[in-house]
Amino acid sequence: MDGLESGVMQAVILVPGQGGVGVARGERRECAGRARGVHLCYPPPVNLERLRTTPPREVVLLAAGRPDAFDLLWLLRDPFRAALIDALALAVAPDDPHRDVGHAFVCRALARVRNADELVALCEGLDDAHRGDLLGLALKGFSLDPRVLVTLLEDATRLARLAPGPLWCADALWTRAAWLFDEHPERRFSFEELVPPALPEGTRARAVLGAALDAARLTDEAVARVRALYPRDAYIQQKTAAAEGNEG
């Protein structure tokens, strides 16, 4: 597999004195760089025009392993969107030999997202299935900055544009809470801080609230609210009663 297809910069060791040449995408190129008789061969440079005219699958295989290529691709709206869709298809295909490459491409894209608006923009133009795959990988691969989730789950407008659904929001809520607990180790949180009102109806918050109870990270008001919210949950009732007793 050549340098373009593998997405990995190659270094080919050639025997000194034999005038070796490197091969990348069918091109014969004189080897550059000599160190004690070792010749290094690199893939040809990438430019915007090459990324515009290369099929999406080849672009994914190239950009997943070459940051320079990905940086250029990021500037091209339509070629990047086509490559992202192809990468998502690879990343969720269990038997595809390039699954890891697709996953690496998607993770590289998600790592570029700095705020909720950029996540919404990244999802624009994707159909429901691809958007769901992208959002799922954002949590599964831990490649999305948790601070994006902190603001996203507090904004009903952006959530409505993404339409992630209550199951995804429940998973995102857990990732978000873990970051908040780690970032503010001595703080106790209100109910709304851990379970924002903007969450879609049906989002399950029991796991997050239970963990907050176990770690004594809820305010007194939040403890009382959790107790009232889960009247038939024996564990919650026991933990909230203990918390209230300790406060008393």
Lowest mean pLDDT among 43-57, 76-90, 144-158: 43-57
**Prediction pTM value:** 0.76
Tokens 């597999």 belong to 1
Q: What is the pLDDT of residue 121?
A: 93
User: What pLDDT is attached to residue 150?
Assistant: 93
Instruction: Provide the residue ranges of all domains of the chain, joining segments of one domain with +.
Output: 1-44, 147-248
pLDDT of residue 5 exceeding 50, the answer is no
The answer to whether residue 18 scores a pLDDT higher than 90 is: no
Amino acid at 147: R
Could you report the per-residue pLDDT of 155-213, keeping only the tens digit for each? 999 999 999 999 999 999 999 999 999 999 999 999 999 999 999 989 999 999 999 99
Contacts of 220 (CB under 8 A, 6+ apart): 244, 247
- In this prediction, residue 152 carries a pLDDT of 95
Residues 188-195: contacts with CB under 8 Å, at least 24 apart: 188/216, 188/217, 188/218, 188/219, 188/222, 189/217, 189/218, 189/219, 189/222, 190/218, 190/219, 190/221, 190/222, 191/218, 191/219, 191/221, 191/222, 191/225, 191/226, 194/218, 194/222
Which tens digit of pLDDT belongs to each residue from 23-69?
Answer: 333 333 444 444 445 555 556 678 889 899 999 999 999 998 889 99
Point out the least confidently predicted range of 16-25, 42-51, 214-223.
16-25
Which pLDDT band holds residue 2 (cuts at 50, 70, 90)? very low
Percent of the chain whose predicted confidence (pLDDT) is above 70: 80
